[in-house]
Structure 1
Amino acid sequence: MAIGNGDMQVYVYKFDNTYIEITDLISSMKYSCGLDKISQQLDIKVPYGVYGTSLPAMFFDTGQKVEVYINSKCYYRGKIETVNMSADKENISITCFDYIRNLTKSKVVYNFAGISAYDAICTIFKDLEIPYSEGGILDGKNADYSRVIINHLIKNKSAYDACMMIATELHRNTGLFYYMFMDVGGNVNIMPCDYYWSRQTIQACSSPNLPNPDGTLISLNYKKDVSDLITKVAVYDSKGNPVDIEAGIPNEDSDEGGDE
């Protein structure tokens, strides 16, 4: 399947680690990720024959690994979380998430005392079997800020929130902000902001009509809306008299109301 200036291949792995390529079967595919939804999501739809043999009948199961390659370079690794087969439409849809999903969905309790930030995060990752590399956790165990001592009770928080609470402790000591991402090797990392994507310049395309955009900024929309802007707030008591907000008492100049 051609995409932009390259070729894309999509593979689904069976539980015995053999794989099948489904690239040519895909009727639609959507990728999404954001700061408020840190785990990368991939939605794929393929035909699924129910009433005849003209369509393939390739079934998928939750937990299977999915990988996406562009020009032989891996751009996505994740696992199937949802399978939805529609008999009347003869298609099957799968929703996949990368390995950060396990961190956002798992509730944890830890009482860290006298442990380095690096070891604390590694403990969480190991307990949940999250793949990581030594250099991808706070720039390695020998980095100055990874050795900050953590004394923190973490209770009934997601594992992702627990990691970011540790990152907040580091921010107080170093002034650096941290973020979590999964690299193309399948490892989950937590690093200082802009460490991974530093020096990436936003550059507009030379023309909006290019079949293959030559810039990093594909589209831009700007909106400024004051339709819901509140410019004045008035408070009245139970008798309908205006209340002095700062003093919290009815305005002396107002009519007391009620019976004399």
Structure 2
Amino acid sequence: MAEKERSTVSKEFIKEHIDGREIDLSMCSLTKVPVKELSSFSHGVVLDLSRNSLKSLPDNFATLTHLISLDLSKNSLTELPENFGSLSLLQRIDLYSNKLKGLPLSFAQLKQLKWLDLKGNLLEAELAEVAGTCVDEKECKECAQKVLKYMKEAAADAERERQKELEKQRMLKKQEAAEEERKQAEARKQRAEEKNRRKEEYKKLQALKKAQEEDIEDEEEETEEVTVEVKKRSVGKLELCCLIMTVIVMVVAIFLGFMVTYCYDSGRNRCPLLKEAMNVTGIMTYIM
């Protein structure tokens, strides 16, 4: 009967599987790696997790930096964590018979790696050709060297692409910043033009208002001048009339004086018109 799958194991369980510097957890039906428990046994630098039911490794697996040998063969791993390269002391890795299609770029950081087995995976054609068949010790050592070189080149290419992408993003941000500055400058220009336009309109309105006020003042002055002139003419006519009447009265008075003198000299009965003349003179004097 197949052993029941385990998602966790205790420290006591691990202690039972330690032999010197090696921790042998092979064929334990593990579905998860007990990273926290394993980290307590830093003297166990050789870890065998082969023949389990592992489909993935947790991100904190890379904290087991004391490991120098790791056996993950005959599991169902589809990928390794991106930070796998943090296990920089690893000298031997057995990944035989999994479902790996590729390796993380950080794999290039495993500078101590001397032995690697990748056969029995679903590797991409180029990586599979680099890895080789790994049928013996020699080929596994060559696999480690070739794969490290290949991954270093892949990491360098990826870094160059990353730098290109960063440069592209910087240029894009720069262009966006320039475009934003252009838009802001255009907006400032439009606001300034609008402000100047309003100023000009205000000046024109003020000038028009002033001109209208001046026209009104001119009209009032003209009206006042006309009124004064009319008054002057009226007064002149009245004065002329008075002068004429005065002259007439004076003439009549002179005439009457002459008539009075004449009548007194000749007697009243000889001047029947004197009384009528006196009445006319009285009326004119009253009119004046």
TM-score category (smaller protein): under 0.3
TM-score, L = length of structure 1: 0.24
Q: Indicate the structure with greater helix content.
A: 2
More strand by share: 1
TM norm structure 2 = 0.22
